């Protein structure tokens, strides 16, 4: 039974290929389209100008500085160890976000995981 189905499918393919070849010689098939390449339709992402990234970093650092000054005044002129570690964690987060944005700011970067 399997041999019969394979022979039937093969014969159908041969007939359709033969019919297509005959139709092509008679000129009834449409002309072949030009191959489309993904490169031709690729639109690269527009990188963010570095000045914008630097301005954002500067604003975030200024805000953190203002927060540190206010916290120092609340702590009596010197930052407590708890306040210092909290502010340091915020600074580390700001710097790592800036480095991540800066490293991904190319037209050829592929974002993995949508992050």
| Phi then psi dihedrals of residue 32, to 5 deg | -65, 145
- CA torsion angle for 62, 86, 74, 98 (degrees, to 10)? 0
pLDDT attached to residue 115: 44
For tokens 């991904």, the residue is 104
- What tens digit of pLDDT does each residue of 61-105 get? 999 999 999 999 999 999 999 999 999 999 999 999 999 888 877
d(CA 56, CA 54): 5
- Helix (H) or strand (E) holding 19, with range, is helix 2-26
For residues 60 and 94, is the Cβ–Cβ distance under 8 A?
A: yes
DSSP class per residue in 38-94 = TTTT--PPPPPPHHHHHHHHHHHHHHHHHHHHHHHHHTTSS--HHHHHHHHHHHHHH
Would you give the DSSP letter of residue 33?
A: P
d(CA 54, CA 94): 12
- What tens digit of pLDDT does each residue of 27-49 get? 566 666 665 655 556 666 666 78
pTM above 0.85, yes or no: no
Token pair for 107: 């037209």
């Amino acid at each position: 039974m399997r041999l019969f189905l394979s022979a039937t499918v093969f014969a159908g393919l041969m007939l359709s290929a033969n019919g297509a070849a005959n139709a092509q010689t008679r000129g009834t098939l449409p002309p072949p389209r030009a191959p489309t390449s993904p490169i031709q339709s690729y639109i690269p992402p527009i990188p963010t100008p570095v000045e914008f990234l630097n301005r954002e970093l500067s604003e975030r650092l200024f805000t953190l500085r203002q927060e540190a000054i206010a916290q120092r005044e609340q702590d009596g002129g010197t930052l407590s160890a708890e306040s210092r570690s909290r502010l340091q964690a915020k600074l580390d987060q700001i710097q790592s976000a800036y480095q991540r944005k800066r490293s991904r700011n190319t037209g050829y970067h592929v974002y993995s995981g949508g992050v």
